Amino acid sequence: MLQMKPNCWSEHGELEAVMICPPAKVDIPTLKVAEDVQWSAPVQQQKAMNNFLELQNAFLDAGVEVLDYSKELSEEDQLLSKQLLNRFFVRDLACVFGNTILPGDPTIFMREPEYVQAHGVLQSWFGSSFIPPAKVGIHALENGDVLVLNQNAVFINAGLRTSMESVEILKQHIFQAGFSEVAVISVPRRGDTLHLDMNCNVANEDLIIAMEFMRHFPVRVMTEQGDRYEMVPTFLQRHGFEVYWLTEYNSVPDINYFNIDPETILLSKQAHKQMLKKHPKLARKKYIEIDVTELEKAGGGIRCMTLPLRRK
């Protein structure tokens, strides 16, 4: 068991520990194969591994403790894990809510083995701080659909990969973890809007970047006392967030960035950094650009590749 305890009450606090996983040890040789496994293009494993090492080194250079769950697997499980194409998308597998880790549940069968393997490792690392899937009882919940806004509120998308039924179950555990509100949206169910973090992301303690269409969507705000509805801007502003609405964007590199600390954003070299810097609250941020081009062919970005375990 690790000596650390999980601790995450936001998406922007100073990162102390993160879980990541390298890509599979196989190439995706042709466009036909890539399309069949729902990737956008062929992938060379060595290039993908170089992308991963650049991501890992960015965290190490920032003084962050980096944990690779695949290293904790048995020899037999490692043989399987090295062939799982999407295993580096660790964000989906679980989420830290305060001092509690709650598991995700995969929507597609192809990803089930990595969830089972990672959950076993999280259980061994964190003991009772990790609530196992059998005790949560969810069906279809990928944590790319989850944003921990602050100590009061969690924002979840019930969409293509996360069911409303799972959100209804999960909310009780989130309340028990110390949060008072769970707001649910349902964004368009398309590949380019697959998860919530492909549509919006926290960029500062008081700023969220979001696709412009989201201003027209309602959210269902759930509390232990009951439910009500608000529009997205009203909900976010009530929790202290200004929204920087984007009219033009490439959703994976531009929105799926990652906050290392309140002053530093880790983002793809393909991101339109100057567009982000147009906002006065982002102009003086430190931007660390890394090349994850090969890994982005899987349809996700840097945030998808990270599971924060501790933030100050």
| pLDDT, tens digit (0-9, with 9 covering 90-100), for 264-303 | 999 999 999 999 999 999 999 999 999 999 999 999 999 9
pLDDT of residue 258: 98
Span 41-46, average pLDDT = 97
Q: 258-261 and 286-290 as β-strands: parallel, antiparallel, unpaired?
A: unpaired
What type of residue sits at position 113? Answer: P
The pTM assigned to this predicted structure is 0.96
Contact 125, 3 (CB under 8 A): no
- Closest among 270, 255, 306, 312 to 59, alpha carbons compared: 306
Q: Which residues, including other chains, have CB under 8 Å from residue 15's CB and lie 6 or more apart?
A: 59, 62, 64, 259, 260, 261, 308, 310, 311
Mean pLDDT of 113-123: 98
Q: 78 - beta bridge partners?
A: none
Q: What integer is the mean pLDDT of 230-247?
A: 98
- % of residues, the chain, pLDDT over 90: 96
**Burial zone of 260 (CB within 10 Å; 0-12 exposed, 13-18 middle, 19+ buried):** buried
Under the banding of pLDDT at 50, 70 and 90, the label for residue 192 is confident
pLDDT digits (tens, 9 = 90+) for 134-174: 999 999 999 999 999 999 999 999 999 999 999 999 999 99
Mean pLDDT of 109-125: 98
Task: Work out the pLDDT band at 191, boundaries 50, 70, 90.
Answer: confident
pLDDT of residue 83: 98
